[in-house]
């Protein structure tokens, strides 16, 4: 069975660590590698780096983790967006494995 995936994009690496920690404490989930994005308008953002945290687990646990992560990240620098995919397709799984942290 494929695990659900929950994604939350936050402003900055500190918020990502805080969100990931809160999500893991709130539910039985694991975290996949963080992903980063530095958009063209980075200088106009509260923090010029966007980081995505991805949680894996049951749908219920992932939803709980994302909600806890959102609350925690909003206390640091803010949340851009969040989403839960209950049953990702194989091709979506391939894309979820990509990340920008290992690139310059």
Q: 4-96 sits in which CATH class?
A: alpha beta
Q: Delimit the domains of the chain by residue range.
A: 4-96
Give the model's pLDDT for residue 64.
98
Tokens of 52: 């995505």
Residues in the chain where the model's pLDDT stays below 50: none
- Tell me the pTM: 0.87
The whole-angstrom separation of Cα 88 and Cα 5 is 7
Dump pLDDT digits (tens) for 24-34: 999 999 998 88
Round the average pLDDT of the chain to a whole number and report it.
89
The whole-angstrom separation of Cα 26 and Cα 47 is 26
């Amino acid at each position: 069975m494929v695990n659900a995936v929950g994604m939350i994009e936050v402003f900055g690496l500190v918020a990502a660590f805080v969100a990931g920690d809160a999500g893991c404490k709130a539910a039985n989930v694991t975290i996949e590698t963080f992903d980063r994005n530095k958009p063209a308008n980075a200088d106009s953002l509260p923090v010029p780096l966007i980081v995505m945290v991805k949680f894996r687990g049951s749908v219920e646990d992932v939803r709980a983790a994302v909600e806890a992560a959102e609350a925690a990240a909003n206390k640091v620098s803010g949340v851009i967006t969040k989403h839960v995919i209950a049953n990702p397709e194989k091709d979506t799984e391939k894309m979820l494995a990509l990340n920008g942290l290992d690139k310059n």
